[in-house]
Amino acid sequence: MYLYPIWVRLWHFINTLLVLVLIVTGISMQYTDQKEYILVVGFAKAVKWHNITAGLLTINYIFFVTGNILSKNGRYYRIERKNFLDNMGKQLRYYSWGMFKGEKHPFPVSLDQKFNPLQKLSYVLAMYVALPLIIFSGIGLLFPETVISRLFGISGMILTDILHITMGFFLSVFLAIHIYTCTLGARPTSLFKSMLSGYHEPENHTA
């Protein structure tokens, strides 16, 4: 089943590289110290590459949103209110219980339904909540003059930076879970191969 068009795969591949660089350089800035650590990039290099990569990620994000608006891919991200909690519960039960008992996937992958409800919610939160927040707060840190100087007696820069690193952290957690759930295909490597070939291998489980 051809599920991942070339533009989605291209966006995803670029996004993967950029996010990895952003996490490494972001951690380098956050946990910087007087001593230069060998495993972490030095502060000056981290700032430079974080800025460059973030600029590219922003462009790539605009490409993703535009692609979703112009193509049918956007429909996969529409959350249906009907039976929302029930469906979430079914999927959660499957991941935590059913799949170990050999039960069938409650929401098998099809051309109309690329993501299961839990997957859809996490993707929407990551792509349409966390990403815009991290991009806007990042622009604020890059151009401090655009950030309000104080809010309720607290520096606007602190708030902006905490928002930025909190979103960065949640996206890092998302990445860890995302990579793991991608091993839940027909075989542990199936979904990784799908993102390269575009073809989804039918299975009982999905990520």
112 binds other proteins (CB under 8 A): no
Options 59-67, 77-85, 121-129, 181-189: segment touching other proteins (CB under 8 A): 181-189
Backbone φ and ψ of 32, nearest 5°: -65, 155
Q: Residue 151: which H helix or E strand, with range?
A: strand 150-151
d(CA 138, CA 140): 5
Q: Shortest distance, CB of residue 57 to other proteins, whole angstroms?
A: 16
Q: How far is the CB of 95 from other proteins (least distance, A)?
A: 8
Distances (CA, A) of 186 to 96, 169, 182, 193, 206: 18, 30, 10, 11, 7
Of 59, 92, 177, 196, the residue at the interface with other proteins (CB under 8 A) is 177
DSSP string, 107-122: S---SS--S-HHHHHH
The H helix count followed by the E strand count for the chain is 7, 2
Residue type (1 letter), 40:
V
For the chain, how big is the Rg over CA atoms in Å?
19
Whichever of 14 and 175 has its CB closer to other proteins, that residue is 175
Residue 33 token pair: 């110290």
**Which of 1, 2, 13, 36: binder of other proteins (CB under 8 A)?**
36
173 is a site residue for other proteins (CB under 8 A)? yes
Stretch that binds other proteins, among 57-65, 71-79, 92-100, 115-123 (CB under 8 A): 92-100
By the criterion CB under 8 A, which residues form the site for other proteins? 29-36, 42-44, 47-48, 51, 95, 99-102, 133, 136-137, 139-142, 144-149, 151-163, 165-166, 169, 172-173, 176-177, 180, 184, 187-188, 204-205
